[in-house]
Amino acid sequence: MKTALLRTRLPLRQATLRAGLGVYEAYVGSRARLRGGGTPECGPDGLAVPPPELRARVSQPPDATFFLESGRFQVESIRKVIADHGVRVDGMRAALDFGCGCGRLARWWAGVQGPALYGCDYDRKLVEWCLRNLPFMHAAVNDLEPPLRYEAEQFDLVYALSVFTHMSEPLQHRWLAELGRVLRPGGLLFFTVSGDEYADRLSGEDRARYDSAELVTHFTEVEGSNLCAAYHPPRYVKARMLSGLELLEMVPGAPFPAPTTAISQDGYLARKPGQPG
């Protein structure tokens, strides 16, 4: 009886949480629209800028300047850490923006000589915006669960910024296995997670678990949404998230809140074993 009652309550709780999050994101977007005097038609790259209600789903604060400049800096950071390990972007054939949102990072690959860019996201509205406004990227909607629609060993690079931060532990590991599947031998995975710079948000038992190198998760019943939050101790990432991959570098996050020229989440660059084909 108790189990049946819990099964009945869970969908209601999920629906309530998702509805509340939707209202909040709409409010944040509307406030940004009012305070910011509107959204510029185009960014400095000449590409369209998504409206604040979409930006609120992928970055905080949702103002256009932060959206554009943080995305530009983070793509530059990815390219730099790759180059530091002797990998040339212009030698890649295909790259995947996993959790592409409304193109905050993807837009800064336009015109870059190198890989064909693919992007996927769980949020259909964000992908639809990309399809209308970022024609250089092959954008697609993915399900909450793997697999992706891509072939095995299709990508030289997969990056996922603040994606695993919104998943339960089992789902994270299923997606890591799937990203490993679509990476070519010798391919690179770069991802960011909320590490030590976010640990002060935790208290009591949660903080003790984090300090003991355990993953801490909140609101996993709505995983895939921004309400679900995961906190990754570096020791946990190195011991539990890199199975079958070689860790090349860990980039500690900058003090939170980070400016547009920094990343407050910890970054990890890993390589799939084998020789590129």
**DSSP assignments along 24-63, one per residue:** HHHHHHHHHHHHHTS--SB-TTSSB---HHHHTTT-SS--
CA–CA gap between residue 225 and residue 231 (Å, rounded): 15
CA–CA gap between residue 154 and residue 174 (Å, rounded): 18
pLDDT band at 261 (very low <50, low <70, confident <90, very high): confident
Structure tokens at 242: 């890199």
Pick the CATH number of 57-271 from 3.40.50.150, 3.40.720.10, 3.40.190.10, 1.10.630.10: 3.40.50.150
Q: For residue 161, with 0-12 CB atoms within 10 Å meaning exposed, 13-18 middle and 19 or more buried, which class applies?
A: buried
**Over residues 256-268, mean pLDDT:** 84
User: What's the confidence (pLDDT) of residue 234?
Assistant: 99
33 phi and psi angles, rounded to 5 deg: -65, -45
User: What's the confidence (pLDDT) of residue 262?
Assistant: 81
DSSP-derived letter for residue 142 is: -
pLDDT band at 103 (very low <50, low <70, confident <90, very high): very high
Beta strands 116-121 and 94-98 are: parallel
Average pLDDT, rounded, for the chain: 89
User: What's the confidence (pLDDT) of residue 260?
Assistant: 75
User: What's the confidence (pLDDT) of residue 58?
Assistant: 95
User: What's the confidence (pLDDT) of residue 17?
Assistant: 44
Side-chain half-sphere exposure of 25, counting CA atoms within 13 A: 18
Asked which of 1-15, 132-146, 168-182, 225-239 is least confident by mean pLDDT, the reply is 1-15
**Is pLDDT at 257 greater than 80 in this prediction?**
no
* Amino acid at position 147, single letter: P
CA–CA gap between residue 210 and residue 195 (Å, rounded): 9
Contacts of 154 (CB under 8 A, 6+ apart): 94, 96, 182, 184
Contacts of 37 (CB under 8 A, 6+ apart): none
Q: What is the DSSP string of 209-269?
A: HHHTT--EEE-GGGTTSTT-EEE--HHHHHHHS-TTSEEEEEEPPPSSSP-TTS--SEEEE
Sheet holding 155-161, edge to edge: 137-141, 116-121, 94-98, 155-161, 183-193, 266-271, 246-251
**Is pLDDT at 40 greater than 90 in this prediction?**
no
Please give the helix or strand (H or E) that residue 159 lies within, else none: strand 155-161
User: Which residue ranges make up each domain of the chain?
Assistant: 57-271
**Is pLDDT at 13 greater than 60 in this prediction?**
no
